[in-house]
Every structure is written in C-alpha cells, then in structure tokens.
C-alpha cells in the first residue's frame, strides 16, 4: 500500500463563480518525483498555494503526511520546503548572508547553510554577492533556502522557467538527486512535458482546473504507442483478410494500419498471413505519436487514466 505524502480530496477553489481548481484528487507517494503538468492558467499555481496553506480552498481537503492541513498547518509546513515563483534576494549580500537571514527565522543550526550550499553546488560561490549570480545559480540558491529546514517534501513551481539549457540541466539533475540521495519527495510543476519527462516518475495533468490524467510516465509512454503501417498490394482485400484473422486493422491512406500495442509477434504474424494470401508487402513502418502530441491531445480533449 502506498504511503501518500500528499493526498487531496475533491480540492476546489472558486473565484467569483469561476472554478480555478475543481474536484482535484492528487496522490503523491513517498520518495516520488511528481510532475504537475498543465498549460499556463490551468490551475497549477493555485493548487500549489492551497497545498502550502497560502490560500484557503473553497471546498475539499488537503492531507500531507497523512494529516489534514487545515487542522495541523504549522506542524505540517515545518516539514515542507518550497520555491514558488521567482526567488528574491538581497543582491548586495552573499549567498551565505542571504541564507543566514532565513536560517534565523527557521532556527536551524549554523552548519546547515554550508550543507545546503554543497547540495545545490554553490559551496565555491558562497561568499560572492548574489547580484553577480546567473539565473540558474539564483534558482539553485532558492532551492538551497527551501532545503534549510531539512524538509521531507519539496514543492517547486516552474523551477526551470526562463533558464538557459545549461541552467535547466543543472536544476534537472539537482531535482533527480533529491529522493535518491536525500530521501525527499518532490512535487514539480511545469508547462513543459519535455522537462517533466526527464525528471518525474509520476505525472498529473491539469486542464482548466480539472485533473485529466494521473499515472506513471511509463503509462503515458504506453498511451503514445503508435500504429504499424503496411504498404501492400490490394490493401482493401488485405485489410479484410487481417480482420478475419483477429487483427485490429483498418484501411487508411491506401495502406493497412495495425493499431498500436499489438507487439512484434502480431506484426510478424500479420505479414506472414498477407504473404500466405499472396499479397505483396512493400513496406512496414511504425508511426509513433510523440509525447508532446499526446500531451496536447490530453490538454485539448481530456483523457482520464
């Protein structure tokens, strides 16, 4: 049985009669990296603000570490680190001095600063004024500040937004290290499937405030399985012959198409059957739907797992 670090039950937020988030049932397992995906304006940031107790839900509930957020907010949030939107710093101060201000508020040991700077790869830049940092370094410093309180859950809202490719790679590798090296569960929101695909184990897709997909990345890949296109002689008769033998085949664009997920053995069997029926097989091609295409389909039409 999964141990849910985050579980929401019919979570909703309404503004002036319009639902920004509606009936959301998130389930995030301990030790997972959960990619929370959706286009801009889909309700990601509103959801994250409710998870962090920054805004109150109109209805529904949030449970974190098995406890209801509304009833045990302070004890729960002591175990949560977050980076929501662009982090702000005192540019004239060093990374150490910026973190010291946060450390005093959290009342954690002084040695924690060096520890978190080492985790995010900024130990050598600890005494540099932050105004000289690149955007990627500032994001890493933001994650360092989120780690100061030794959180069990890390919530990151669009952490690679605006970064160049090297900065994106740095943050991506840092996020992947959180569960395996530090035992931290991560919720990362993004509007980019390509980023989530390379970091997350589980993905939830939100569309117009509603969760329309929630499953593993592997499941998403399976749904993107393509079709096999067979260019053959007499394609109409060939399609009928395959259907008579139990193959899921259709005639399209003067070719025979086998639906995805039938496996290599099925494809070989179909070719063998056509040759036995004296059809010439000129070409066998696989046409895969990209994950981006599937994501756009899910966001556009809705698809429930």
Supply the angle between the helices 111-119 and 135-147 in degrees, to the nearest 10.
130
Cα dist. 41→105, 162, 209, 254 in Å?
Answer: 33, 17, 9, 42
- pLDDT value for 305: 41
pLDDT of residue 304 exceeding 60, the answer is no
CB 64 within 8 A of CB 36: no
Name the DSSP class of 124: G
When computed from its CA atoms, the radius of gyration of the chain, rounded to whole angstroms, is: 25
pLDDT in tens, 147-167: 999 999 999 998 888 888 888
> Given the DSSP bridges, would you call strands 33-37 and 210-216 parallel, antiparallel or unpaired?
unpaired
pLDDT in tens, 26-74: 999 999 999 999 888 889 999 999 999 999 999 999 999 999 999 999 9
What are the structural domains of the chain? 4-79+151-222 (3.40.50.300), 225-288 (3.30.70.100)
- What pairs with residue 28 in β-bridges? 6
Residue ranges of E strands in 38-106: 59-64, 67-68, 80-84
* pTM given for the model: 0.78
pLDDT of residue 224 exceeding 70, the answer is no
- pLDDT value for 68: 95
């Amino acid at each position: 049985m999964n141990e849910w670090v985050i579980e929401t039950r019919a979570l909703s937020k309404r503004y002036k009669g319009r639902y920004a988030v509606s009936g959301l049932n998130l389930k995030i397992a301990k030790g997972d990296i959960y990619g929370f995906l959706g286009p801009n304006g889909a309700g990601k940031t509103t959801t994250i603000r409710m998870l962090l107790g920054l805004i109150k839900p109109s209805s529904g509930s949030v449970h974190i570490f098995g406890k209801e957020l509304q009833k045990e907010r302070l004890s729960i949030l002591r175990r949560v680190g977050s980076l929501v939107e662009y982090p702000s710093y005192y540019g004239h101060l060093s990374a150490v001095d910026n973190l010291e201000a946060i450390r005093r508020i959290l009342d954690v040991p002084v040695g924690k600063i060096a520890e978190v700077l080492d985790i995010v790869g900024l130990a050598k830049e600890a005494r540099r004024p932050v105004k000289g940092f690149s955007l990627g370094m500032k994001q890493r410093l933001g994650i360092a500040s989120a780690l100061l309180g030794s959180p069990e859950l890390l919530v990151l809202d669009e952490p690679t937004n605006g970064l160049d490719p090297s900065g994106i790679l740095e943050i991506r590798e840092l996020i992947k290290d959180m569960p395996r090296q530090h035992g931290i569960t991560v919720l990362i929101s993004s509007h980019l499937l390509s980023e989530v695909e390379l970091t997350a184990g589980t993905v939830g897709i939100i569309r117009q405030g509603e969760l329309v997909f929630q499953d593993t990345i592997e499941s998403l890949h399976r749904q993107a399985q393509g079709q096999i296109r067979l260019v053959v002689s007499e394609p109409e008769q060939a399609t009928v012959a395959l259907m008579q033998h139990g193959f899921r085949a259709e005639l399209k664009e003067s070719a025979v198409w086998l639906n995805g997920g039938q496996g290599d053995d099925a494809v070989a069997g179909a070719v063998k059957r056509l040759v036995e029926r004296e059809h010439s097989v000129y070409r066998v091609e696989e046409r895969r739907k990209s994950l981006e295409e599937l994501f756009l389909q899910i966001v556009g039409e809705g698809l429930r797992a």
